[in-house]
Amino acid sequence: MIGLLESGFFSPSEPGRFAAIVNSLRHHDPYMVCADFDAYVAAEAAAAQAFTDRRGWARKALLNIAGSARFSSDETVRQYASEIWNVRPIPVDVRKFSEP
Q: Find the domain containing 65 and state its range.
A: 54-89
Average of per-residue pLDDT values in the chain: 89
Residues 23 and 41 in one domain: yes
Residues 42 and 75 in one domain: no
Say if residue 100's pLDDT is above 70: no
Instruction: Indicate the residue type of 19.
Output: A
pTM of the model: 0.49
Residue-wise pLDDT tens digits, 37-84: 899 999 999 999 999 999 999 999 999 888 876 667 888 888 899 999
Q: What is the pLDDT of residue 21?
A: 92
More confident residue, 96 or 100: 96
Number of structural domains (the chain) is: 2
Q: Does residue 94 belong to any structural domain of this protein?
A: no
Q: Does residue 95 belong to any structural domain of this protein?
A: no
38-55: b (≥16 Cβ within 10 Å) or e: eeeeeeeeeeeeeeeeee
